Structure 1
């Protein structure tokens, strides 16, 4: 089992620095997912681990050994690309065997065993004699994963492997990757995606990147329940967390939050910090319809989106920027134009200071 440690890792292209001193310790056998907006540096970071991009500064260790100057082949890694990168003139079997037969002196019997074992794991044994053009996108991606498996890597890297697949194939292939991770529990896996559903369902821990820096590193539920700042709060969760600016001030039995629209929310807990400007966050799924006397927010329904098991309601609570989104079970009896009152349990409220940093831990 091999861990991956990055210490002060930077990446620059000329005078432009795209990664700003990344410190990260990925444990042996861990499944870690990099997420973040386009251009945040997640794929660049993965390619630096793979040895496909040079490290400008800092050190990268795999299994306790500094590998900055080692080639990809010498690092004991295998990588699955977004584009599959299969040889079109080779059969599935030949594609999966190619890396083993290239200058490794691996016996043919051992190559055959590894290829057929990987094919069995990924349920592609019936396709071993076919060429890539005869396969669906999901089958091609499984072949690419199988080719990586045959190398018996110490570290397994995935660069947005499902982004070229349609929705149904993404779900099916995601399940394949989850089963693969369970079977290869001794192998460290690092996975890049822009899809937070993939991140939340696959990861042991998630790295949230933004503008070349780590915003937070933790388990999926740590990020969801206790986002370190406004960026993580907005990025993790779908629909994203509702964020409302306000001013915190102490009261006899707790504190109050005065909102821009004039409402005043009373919280029966000690005031975190010294008060002043800040933000209150509330997830759509933690919000309920309540009577007026129990309301935190109130407003007119702008639109509803019935999705079957849930309905999304977009409510104008007096903010100019964006509506307040509520996720309600089933088909609630509300429609466009209705005036509604919204409430939530105090423990569901997320509080952030004026700089967007979390000021109170929430129950998980």
Structure 2
């Protein structure tokens, strides 16, 4: 059964991953209550046996519980079969009721976060280590300097960034080569196409797409909100799921569904196929907690789209056709966050 998913080169430093990855966040956090551990390990193992070997997590998922889950799933021979990515930078502070998340990129925190992830994952080295969000008080050069040391020490193999501006990417890449940028890219999130994607390609940096199915919208449509748990963050943090926007956005799903029927595939497969056809430097990481959905997502790799199909999809899902921001105000994205100049750090330190 193994090997049905092709491999691609991610970035220019030698990392090879499955052309589609598996986002593991929803198994433990944010999308309702944590799912049963044994069932999630079964999903992970099924993914690996099917050729999906690029697994994505973060220390903030849980917090920590998603990394612990992957650590249990990747014991013994399983570790050698995967490319493991995790992230640091979002730190939970406060008591359980009044939890706030602070963003940190100072060297001491970078090192402590890496050591914590290595222990929870039960590994000696992390294949791809991302800064989850940039710290607006620490120049990116300082954060990258510590990450470079971790590479030299063999604790991480490759460095990635998530939700960053083009200027931050360039500054970081000048300190040590960036292997991948993680960003939200899908039929209903296309703002990265103007500047971020071209910057990655100019510098030879791989592109990893989270939420390629619009957090489930492009696979299930607007009715999905009726079955979401009250604990599901989509109801609070993502304005596109709010009633006043959902009524408008349902038209995108309807058009994708109509086109998928003509292509003989599901809406989710069509949306994923659109990402796969963006180039061999692009890897979507759809998340799922069900083996059946996993199989469907893998099926997207077999969907062929002509230039005419791509143009039609891009027309029906143009950037201005979606109503609602990606996040509620106050959540850091590449549009709103950058790091200070290196000179400011030298003056203060």
TM exceeding 0.5: no
More strand by share: 1
**Smaller-chain TM-score range?**
under 0.3
Q: So what's the TM-score if we normalise by structure 2?
A: 0.28
Structure of larger gyration radius: 1
More helix by share: 2
Structure with more contact order per residue of length (Cα contacts < 8 Å, sep ≥ 6): 2
